[in-house]
Amino acid sequence: MEDIRTPPLSAAFHEAFPDKLILSSETASDSQHSGHVHFPKWQMSIVRLSTRPPGVNSTSKQVSAYDLYTANFGSSPADKVFAAQDSNPFAAGEFVWTGWDYIGEPTPYYSARSSYCGIIDLAGFKKDRFYLYQARWRPGLRMAHILPHWSWPERVGQLTPVHVFTAADEAELFLDGKSQGCKTREEHSYRFRWDEVKYQPGELRVITYKDGSKWGGQKIPCE
């Protein structure tokens, strides 16, 4: 029963039954370990955990916090679910699987004690993906969340991708005051990505813009 997939049927269903409500349930089934980053980050936007790709650690039973990984029975990371909703505006919305990690139904590791699909972990702490959903569901909130943390003394000079979750239109990333480039949100894009950043100690900072005006930001000191 590996990699069972059902192609999106929303458009065909809506055409056949235009007066029926369409609501997504148990969306995403992403797996993410709270605060954990495992390199190298997978460069694709989605990868099946059944393939045991880079970004997961089968020994420690952890999954990287970049939120690019879904169980083999899952739909896809949240970004692709959002894109499907925006492409089908007649759909009413979604229920995410799951709001919280929970004990039982261990996913993606059967030998673990819990599922990793939650937006919030077992202890009640917000995972990094919490801010991806917050940016989606509260588009007026002046918020920017940088991923990952910036304390990697063993990675000096190595690629250490930086992602930012925000509802802003544009974002510019700075490392110790030096711009790493300005990104403009594209259609069906729900995060800003700087995948070519090389780690060096210093302050990591993002400044965001919306409707042409400065909107907010976040900074992370090197600890």
CATH number where 174 lies: 2.60.40.10
Average pLDDT over residues 46-64: 68
Put residue 27 in one of left, alpha, beta given phi > 0 → left and psi -120 to 50 → alpha. Answer: beta
CATH number where 22 lies: 3.20.20.80
Model pLDDT, residue 40? 66
Check residues 137 and 115 and name the one with the higher pLDDT: 137
Regarding whether 85 and 46 lie in a shared domain, the answer is yes
Final residue before a domain boundary, out of 137, 161, 183: 137
Task: Encode pLDDT of 197-213 as tens digits.
Answer: 999 999 999 999 999 89
Model pLDDT, residue 81? 86
pTM (2 d.p.): 0.89
Average pLDDT over residues 172-194: 95
Show the tokens assigned to 185. 């949100």
**pLDDT at residue 15 greater than cutoff 50:** yes
Regarding whether 172 and 96 lie in a shared domain, the answer is no
Regarding whether 143 and 114 lie in a shared domain, the answer is no
Give the C-alpha separation, 176 to 174, whole Å.
Answer: 6
Average pLDDT over residues 103-117: 85
Regarding whether 152 and 69 lie in a shared domain, the answer is no
Task: Encode pLDDT of 21-47 as tens digits.
Answer: 998 888 888 888 877 887 765 554 455
User: In terms of residues, how long is the chain?
Assistant: 223
**pLDDT at residue 219 greater than cutoff 80:** no
Regarding whether 12 and 80 lie in a shared domain, the answer is yes
Regarding whether 164 and 69 lie in a shared domain, the answer is no
Binning the chain into helix, strand and coil, the percentages to the nearest 5 are: 15, 30, 55
Model pLDDT, residue 45? 45
Final residue before a domain boundary, out of 117, 137, 157: 137
Q: To 5 degrees, how large is the angle CA 90–CA 96–CA 102?
A: 165
Range of the domain at 10: 1-137
Q: Is 159 helix (H, G, I), strand (E, B) or coil?
A: strand
Check residues 151 and 74 and name the one with the higher pLDDT: 151
Model pLDDT, residue 210? 93
Using an 8 Å Cβ cutoff, are 144 and 132 in contact? no
Question: How many other C-beta atoms can be found within 10 angstroms of the C-beta atom of residue 222?
Answer: 16
Using an 8 Å Cβ cutoff, are 110 and 116 in contact? no
Q: To 5 degrees, how large is the angle CA 70–CA 145–CA 178?
A: 115
Regarding whether 158 and 122 lie in a shared domain, the answer is no
Within 8 A by CB and 6+ apart from 174, the residues are 180, 203, 204, 205, 206, 207
Regarding whether 47 and 154 lie in a shared domain, the answer is no
Instruction: Transcribe 42-107 into DSSP letters.
Output: PSSS-EEGGG--TTEETTTTEE-TT--EE-TTS---HHHHHHHHHH-TTS--EEEE-SB--BSS-B
Check residues 69 and 99 and name the one with the higher pLDDT: 99
Regarding whether 117 and 189 lie in a shared domain, the answer is no
Q: How many domains does the chain have?
A: 2
Regarding whether 96 and 9 lie in a shared domain, the answer is yes
Model pLDDT, residue 39? 76
Regarding whether 217 and 107 lie in a shared domain, the answer is no
Final residue before a domain boundary, out of 137, 171, 192: 137
Regarding whether 162 and 84 lie in a shared domain, the answer is no
- % pLDDT > 70, the chain: 86
- % pLDDT > 90, the chain: 48
Using an 8 Å Cβ cutoff, are 194 and 210 in contact? no
